[in-house]
Amino acid sequence: MANISASLVKELRDKTGAGMMDCKAALGETDGDIEAAVDWLRKKGLAKAAKKAGRVAAEGLIGLAVSGSGTKGVVVEVNSETDFVARNDLFQGLVRMIAQVALDVGTDVATISAAKVGDVTVADAISSAIATVGENMTLRRAASVEVGQGAIGQYVHNQVSDGLGKIGVIVALESTGKADELTALGRQVAMHIASANPQAVEPSGLDPEVVKREKDVLADKFRQQGKPANVIEKIVENGIKTYYKEVCLLEQPFIFDDKKSVGQALKEAEGRVGGPIAVKGFVRYALGEGIERQESDFAAEVAAAAGQG
């Protein structure tokens, strides 16, 4: 049996909201496999959902840039060691510059790093900023969305300066309608995405393996309760519809009017915009999501430094 550490139990508890002893039992049953333990808890009805909240474990900034035509947008993440650097004008200028370069050369990190701005490459500019500020910095990732005709909606949450913050969203709305109306609507949709964190525009965009896992968890849960196969099939079908409403943008309740879905809100806006509207894609970056950081006990560190630990 795997050695189940307290930190692993805490991580599972944070993911699921289940009790400590239930989390310990789940990890014991699954040999310490945290994802399998999440499923085990869900099958027992002890966890509401497998929500992988991206734990912010790196500092820095998310930067956005939109082309002059308004039909292409990019989002980049540039990390630093401390939050203090995010308030530094030099670092903010560096992130803005990198976002602009990504608009021109694409979103491959190596290509961006090798691109020249004046006489220096982006990689050189980062190295120079590191030498000036005295703190490590890295370009972690970049992504873009684009439409032939329409507008890019954008939103930055926890904004520290124009186009820079902790969460950045760009969303591509394809339409022959009025660009200014589309841009305003796009901002609302981007704000919704920042808040609701959808995983895909619609069900067809979800990873089939993820959908299969949801179905398996639902089926196993009610199979253990002794439900007959035909009943389980209907429960799973309804459960997946509910899941789609939770994770698919067009099916989520719109944060500005939760009596209608995002898809319904866009349909209603078509008259005002002056043409059909299609969401062609979106990107949502939250600073540091998916990066683990060593957690420390500050009080214990101070006590140890004072010779009391």
* pLDDT, tens digit, 9 for 90 and up, residues 250-285: 999 999 999 999 999 999 999 999 999 999 999 999
Strand partners, 283: 170
* 229 located within any domain: no
Q: Are residues 45 and 134 in the same domain?
A: no
pLDDT exceeding 90 applies to what percent of the chain?
A: 59
**What CATH number is given to the structural domain containing 48?**
1.10.8.10
Q: Is residue 222 part of a domain?
A: no
pLDDT tens readout for residues 42-75: 787 766 434 433 333 369 999 999 999 999 999 9
pLDDT at 235: 87
Residue 47 shares a structural domain with residue 75 = no
Could you tell me if 11 and 67 lie in one domain? no
Query: Which one-letter DSSP state was computed for residue 83?
Result: G
Helices vs. strands in the chain: H and E counts, helices first:
11, 11
297 or 138, higher pLDDT:
138
Q: Is the pLDDT of residue 80 over 50?
A: yes
Above 90 in pLDDT, residue 82?
Answer: no
Q: Given this model, what pLDDT does residue 307 score?
A: 56
Domain match, 73 and 168 both: yes
Please give the residue that has the higher pLDDT: either 36 or 198: 198
Q: At 250, list the tokens.
A: 């067009």
Q: Do 102 and 160 share a domain, yes or no?
A: yes
Banded pLDDT at 19 (limits 50, 70, 90): confident
For residue 249, being part of any structural domain is answered with no
Q: By mean pLDDT, which of 158-162, 219-223, 295-299, 300-304 is the weakest?
A: 295-299
When pLDDT is cut at 50, 70 and 90, the band that residue 127 belongs to is confident
Residue 75 falls within a domain, yes or no?
yes
Instruction: Output the pLDDT for position 1.
Output: 52
User: Same domain, yes or no, for 94 and 24?
Assistant: no
Do residue 81 and residue 123 come from a single domain?
yes
Q: What is the rounded average pLDDT of the residues 27-52?
A: 75
Strands 257-261 and 253-254 come out as antiparallel
pTM, 2 dp: 0.76
Q: Which helix (H) or strand (E) holds 183?
A: helix 179-196
Q: Which helix (H) or strand (E) holds 164?
A: strand 164-165
CATH code (residue 106): 3.30.479.20
- Residue 206 sits at φ, ψ, to 5 deg, of -80, 150
Tokens 């998916």, located at residue: 290
Higher pLDDT, 120 or 43: 120
Query: Mean of the pLDDT values across residues 277-304?
Result: 75
Tokens 């930055």 belong to which residue? 156
Residues 126 and 165 in one domain: yes
- What's the domain count of the chain? 2
**Residue 32 vs residue 3, higher pLDDT:** 32
Say if 79 falls within a structural domain.
Answer: yes
* Lowest mean pLDDT across 110-114, 196-200, 207-211, 219-223: 219-223
| Residues 63 and 164 grouped into a single domain | yes
The set of residues, in sequence order, having a beta carbon less than 8 Å from that of 104 and lying 6+ positions away, is 115
Q: What digits encode the pLDDT tens for the residues 162-213?
A: 999 999 999 999 999 999 999 999 999 999 999 999 999 999 999 999 899 9
Does 39 share its domain with 64? no
- Quick one: pLDDT at residue 132? 85
Task: Report long-range pairs for 210-214 (Cβ below 8 Å, ≥24 apart).
Answer: 211/240, 211/243, 213/39, 214/239, 214/240, 214/243
Length of the chain: 309
* Residue 30 lies in domain: 1-53
Residue 83 lies in a domain: yes
Residue 126: inside a domain, yes or no? yes
Domain boundary among 53, 79, 97: 53
d(CA 103, CA 287): 20
Instruction: Tell whether 82 and 165 lie within a shared domain.
Output: yes
Question: DSSP secondary-structure letter at 167?
Answer: E
One-letter identity of residue 108: D
Regarding whether 107 and 63 lie in a shared domain, the answer is yes
Q: Work out the mean pLDDT of the chain and round it to a whole number.
A: 87
Q: Around Cβ 47, how many Cβ atoms within 10 Å?
A: 24
Q: Does some domain include residue 140?
A: yes
Q: Of 242, 243, 254, 146, whose CA–CA distance to 195 is shortest? A: 254
